[in-house]
Amino acid sequence: MDSISGVGVLDKAVAILDALEPRALSLVELVEATGLS
């Protein structure tokens, strides 16, 4: 995961919102889409 803002929490929040923008995802799909766990 690349840092955009330099603030890890904000970068993770943006990654989650970007993944959820097109449609709702299950937790498994969200983890796969963002690489966060």
Distance CA 20, CA 6 (A): 22
pLDDT of residue 1: 63
- What are the pLDDT digits (tens) for 1-37? 667 767 789 999 999 999 999 999 999 999 999 999 8
pLDDT of residue 13: 93
Distance CA 5, CA 22 (A): 22
Distance CA 37, CA 33 (A): 11
- What are the pLDDT digits (tens) for 22-31? 999 999 999 9
pLDDT of residue 7: 79
Give the residue numbers spanning the domain of 13. 1-37
Query: How many structural domains are present in the chain?
Result: 1
